[in-house]
Chains A and B, each alone.
Chain A
């Protein structure tokens, strides 16, 4: 049994905390306090220590293990799946899996060739395919019950108990670092192609000499530079925001189950069952609605990546 009463506030906070490995106040890298308990004394987290190990104090010197593990697993799954199909693909006698993979491949190829004008670019296709497939797989993690993987990771105990892994966020895109990492990669490519296609001067003049010409350079910069970087930041924020919100709703719906459990323990059986059923119905309803967002956001991420890189190749003058 839990040491303290399970309440919704703690439950929500718990589910928004990543499994963090970072630099503690004594300069050493450890898992944050209470985040992991494998092989350690159950009471270790209660001991008085001469250092603190709080994720909020770690700043940039920390890494979210759950985000990294899930995203690497899912990206690896994508790579392995497509590689194993591509390796023994047949022209005349494709397997069912090959058909499915080919469909996805062709979908991306058509999407890219409709938008991306320059020919012979070797990065844009794989970039688009990796973006949509990886983002889609990561987004799909949102459909797993919010407590399933944390429960398994915690040694088949409620995530508020001190089991093996105390914190585990399954959805990598609900951690701003994952979408921002991808958007950062895209931003680097946008700068690279802008400068490669237009030269440093061309790139700078694009940000300073329009829309009003050289007599209004400060105004032009105020208009153009935030716009240029905002769209790259928005690429990450759009995905993060949509999926974070979706995950949040799932967590709130899960709170209904906690409420239902409380009523059950208080002996009010009929209301307990009612709230349980309401929770199930809401969860199904939201999952049906959210699956649209999951696919749509993956598609939007891919399309915008291609659009931005196409813009980087365009000259306006």
Chain B
């Protein structure tokens, strides 16, 4: 072992390097690491915040979806009701119309029958008179005959 002035030189060099490290290396490195730690902590916080917000949004989504489904069901129900109503109305009016047509047709039939009956009656009367004329072929007071016939006609 050979101590000499190198010892002092090494001590001074050591002091110089420690001083340099203390001034230009340690503080900026520490700052960087601390900033990074903070950044990571912030990031983790933001992530958990994001997850929480996502959960909230999901819950809200379910809620809105439920409401929309309910509304849609209501609308379909209303539409069905309205359709049924329309069908009922159409049915009723059709029945009424049919009834009317039926009534007027019956009227027509009755009138036609009446008319036919009148015509038939007058024709029968004529035929009867002609028949009677031929059968009797005698001098019958024409006046009295026609009175008779009228009576007959009325009775028919």
Chain A residues proximal to chain B, CB less than 8 Å: 18, 20, 22, 55, 58-64, 67-68, 71-72, 75, 78-79, 82-83, 85-87, 89-92, 101-102, 105-106, 109, 122-123, 125-127, 129-130, 134, 172, 175-178, 180-182, 184-185
Contact = CB atoms under 8 A, between A and B. Distances in A.
B6 A126 contact: no
B4 A64 contact: yes
Given A75-B17, A176-B3, A180-B10, 4 more contacts: A79-B25, A83-B20, A127-B21, A181-B10
Contacts of A130: 14, 17-18, 21
B137 interface: no
B96 to A, nearest CB: 84
A127 B26 CA distance: 10
A55 B2 contact: yes
B110 interface: no
Contacts of B14: 130, 134, 181-182, 185
A290 to B, nearest CB: 21
Contact of B10 (A79, A83, A85, A182): A182
A185 B9 CA distance: 11
Contacts, number: 130
A62 B9 contact: no
Contacts of A134: 14, 17
A200 B10 CA distance: 28
Q: Is the interface of A mostly helix, strand, loop or mixed?
A: helix
B18 A89 contact: no
A83 B19 CA distance: 12
B86 interface: no
11 contacts: A67-B6, A71-B13, A83-B24, A91-B36, A126-B26, A127-B18, A177-B6, A177-B7, A178-B10, A181-B9, A181-B11
B150 interface: no
A205 to B, nearest CB: 29
A127 B15 CA distance: 9
